[in-house]
Amino acid sequence: MPSLGREPKAVCDGDTPLTPIAAKEQRKIDKSIKKKYDRFRRRYPEVHGRGLSVRFKDKADFSLR
């Protein structure tokens, strides 16, 4: 009977055997990474469309555009 697919090929890194990541597991990892960066985006929003200006006690101005 012919096989429907091939087994993932294991390779060795030193003494540790490594197998390829399955597509389902890769999607799960990608989703968790995307969630992580979305959380960062909500926590630290970027400033768009306006400059940031800071005035120090010695009357020096510092601005970012």
Tens digits of residue pLDDT in 39-63: 888 887 766 666 677 777 787 777 7
Read off the pLDDT of each residue in 9-35 and give the average, rounded to a whole number.
90
**Quick check: helix, strand or coil at residue 47?**
coil
Give the β-pairing of 61-64 and 52-55: antiparallel
Q: Regarding predicted confidence, which is higher, 48 or 27?
A: 27
The pLDDT of residue 35: 94
Helices (H) and strands (E) in the chain, counts: 1, 4
Beta bridge partners of 13: 16
- Show me where the domains of the chain are located: 11-44
Q: Which candidate, 42, 8, 23, places its Cα nearest to that of 31?
A: 23
d(CA 11, CA 19): 7
The pLDDT of residue 55: 77
Structure pTM?
0.49
